[in-house]
Amino acid sequence: MGKTLPPESCFSIVQGTVRRKTRQVDVGGVRIGGDAPVIVQSMTKTDTRDVKATLDQIEVMVKAGCEIVRLAVPDEDAVCALEEIKKHAGIPIIADIHFDHRLAIMAVEKGVDGLRINPGTIGSSRKVKEVVKAAQERQVPIRIGVNSGSLEKEILAESDGAVPEAMVESAMRHVRMFEDLGFSHIKISLKAADVFRTLRAYQLLADRVNYPFHAGITEAGSILSGTVRSSVGLGLLLTLGLADTIRVSLTAPPEEEVRVAYLILSSLGIRQRGPEVISCPICGRCEVDLMDIAAEIEKGMENLSAPLRVAVMGCMVNGPGEAKEADIGIACGRGVGVLFKEGKILKKVKEKDIVHTLLKEAGKMTGEEKQ
């Protein structure tokens, strides 16, 4: 296990940090790097060989805002499924290949929009060169995906474990190989399960290449612990301008990864998709069941895609002010709520009607009102 770097090793954080300048890579029509927005992607958790289940999951991911989807390709049956999945996915698909370089070549032939290969698992330089040649012929980009848990044995032997410098050396070996072959359709990721090792690796590599970075904290954890770890790690990377496309890795359905990703981007003022719901933590002054009200409102807004700031407040201390500053908000009293819309009081509603009324008005504002 590599050493975890202390906070002192990080660059100072300044709000509004500009993203590093990179080359731009086209992945099935989605631009990554350069002046393109930070792109949100995720990975299916179905058996890729089950075409229907995989497409059903991709459909849910797309509704949540996923812009690129990655699929595990463990064998030839999975490769054969790629062609049909590609026809109906609606977004670019990336084939994730380990151990057998022939699967990567076959995936390119099936028309995938990109490859992800791990230097520590893909095999000899000869095999990598064969993959690069196939990708070059069809202009298919490749992500060099370095993972701290699967570094090359010789690099680990030369380093003090899976330290950031070892991760960077692994990436650079393949960057040099790709460049020697005249291939530059490259993205790079350097992922570890801990925040500071990941951050330091990206910092070191940023001084050596101008390829776009795919960022994330690998094996982040369950929906709670993983969201926290990913939010801290990606928050730092994004603020330092070191992320061009992101994936939140959770032991949870992939649409939850996508929603968390947008919440991270929204909290940093980078991108927003769908409503941003703020709600008070509840105290003894609250006289409604705000915990359930807030949960129902947040759930009811999951399928809205237009940006909207929503405030759900439990009492009349800070409630009216927060609700007035939001696009739409509710400030609750004893069994009632005062609905604010665009800074003005719209109406007073009974507690049982708060959720329905707020969701209906929010739908009107976004043009996505349910009939």
**Nearest residue to 204 (alpha-carbon basis) of 230, 167, 177:** 167
Estimate the crossing angle of helix 254-267 against helix 51-64, to 10 degrees.
Answer: 20
pLDDT reported for residue 119: 72
pLDDT reported for residue 370: 62
Contact 110, 79 (CB under 8 A): yes
For position 319, which CATH number holds?
Answer: 3.30.413.10
For position 64, which CATH number holds?
Answer: 3.20.20.20
**Does residue 175 register a pLDDT over 50?**
yes
Please identify, among 250, 267, 284, the residue that sits at the C-terminal boundary of a domain. 267
Over residues 25-56, the pLDDT tens digits come to 999 999 999 999 999 999 999 999 999 999 99
pLDDT band with cut points at 50, 70 and 90 for residue 4:
very low
Residue 197 is which amino acid?
Answer: R
- Alpha-carbon dihedral angle through residues 325, 282, 273, 55, given to the nearest 10 degrees: -160
List, as one string, the DSSP characters of 272-306.
--SEEEEE----TT--S-HHHHHHHHHHHTTT--S
**Nearest residue to 112 (alpha-carbon basis) of 130, 131, 126:** 131
pLDDT band with cut points at 50, 70 and 90 for residue 152:
confident
Residue 135 is which amino acid?
Answer: A
pLDDT reported for residue 274: 86
pLDDT reported for residue 17: 57
- Domain containing residue 151: 7-267
What's the predicted TM-score (pTM) here? 0.88
Q: Distance between CA 206 and CA 263 in Å, rounded?
A: 25
Instruction: Please indicate, yes or no, if residue 371 is contained in any of the structural domains.
Output: no
Q: Distance between CA 19 and CA 244 in Å, rounded?
A: 8
Give the torsion sign (CA, 27, 308, 58, 220): positive
For residues 92 and 70, state if they share a domain.
yes
Instruction: Please indicate, yes or no, if residue 71 is contained in any of the structural domains.
Output: yes
Instruction: Please indicate, yes or no, if residue 334 is contained in any of the structural domains.
Output: yes
